[in-house]
Amino acid sequence: MSKSKVDTIQSSFVPLNIENVDTDQIIPARFLKGTTRDGFGKNLFRDWRYENDDEAKPRPGFVLNQPEYHGKILVAGKNFGCGSSREHAAWSILDYGFTAVVSSFFADIFKNNALNNGVLPVTVSEFFLQKIFEQDNEATLTINLPNQTIVIDTTGAKESFEINAYKKECLLKGYDDIDYLLSIKNDIEVFEKTQQY
């Protein structure tokens, strides 16, 4: 499934200053029963967003219910996305409208799932993460994927981040793994024909 391309993202952000956010919080298992990838955003962080699972009763203390916080970037505490392999976690984040997640540490499977769905995981130092959390709701971040840098626009603080070169190319082109393979199909066929066994 091809996705929209990720390049440079400049946006305000939603701070979720909690560590070990697990996939059951991102999207509780009872909402996993779709057989397509769409529509999961409305259940993102469902049990933190609503009292007793009731959409009429939002919890005012939760950041997604605070209109002053919005944007395309989610900033979260260490070990984000631990727990299950449900790709729905990445789908719900994307479907809600986030294109990047910033944290000081990501769980392995979540990171892969995010990359496969056009959500950019940006790993920053704990120090830089705390700097972001110190900003107010007017602040914006600029994430530059080609240069692999993230900047807090208000202070100019900057850090670079790591990303697998292949995944970077996929994100820039809006490819998933299969799109990528199809894009080099000719090369693969040539290779197959010229290979001696």
Partner 1 sequence: VATADHNVPTIEQHLPIKEELGRVQVETLKKNCATHEIELYGLGHPYQGIVHVIGPELGITQPGMTIVCGDSHTSTHGAFGAIAFGIGTSEVEMVFATQCLLQSKPKQMRININGELKKGVLSKDIVLYILSKISSSGATGYAVEYAGSTISNLSMEARMTVCNMSIEMGARCGLIAPDETTFKYIHGRAFAPKGTDWVHALQYWQTLKSDEDALFDEEININAAAIEPMITYGTNPGMGVGVNGLVPSEKEMDEKERASFIKAMNYMGIAPGGAIKGQKIDYVFIGSCTNSRIEDLRLVADFVKGKQKSDDVEVWVVPGSKQVEQQAIAEGIDKIFSAAGFQLRQPGCSACLGMNEDKIPAGKYCISTSNRNFEGRQGAGSRTLLASPLMAAAAAITGRVTDVSEML
How many Cα atoms occupy the beta-carbon half-sphere of 106 within 13 Å?
A: 26
Out of 10, 12, 41, 47, name the contact with partner 1 by CB under 8 A.
47
DSSP one-letter code for 18:
-
Per rule CB under 8 A, is residue 166 in the interface with partner 1?
yes
CA angle 129, 141, 99 (to 5 degrees): 95
Out of 9, 14, 43, 87, name the contact with partner 1 by CB under 8 A.
87
Out of 32, 139, 151, 157, name the contact with partner 1 by CB under 8 A.
32
Coil, strand or helix at 100 = strand
Out of 172, 181, 184, 190, name the contact with partner 1 by CB under 8 A.
181
Per rule CB under 8 A, is residue 24 in the interface with partner 1?
yes
CB 105, min distance to partner 1, A: 7
Q: Where are the alpha helices (DSSP H) in 60-195?
A: 88-96, 108-116, 126-134, 165-173, 177-183, 185-194
DSSP one-letter code for 145:
T
- Which residues are near partner 1 by CB under 8 A? 1, 17-20, 22-25, 28-30, 32-35, 37, 47, 52-53, 77-79, 82-87, 90, 105, 107-109, 112-113, 116-117, 164, 166, 176-178, 181
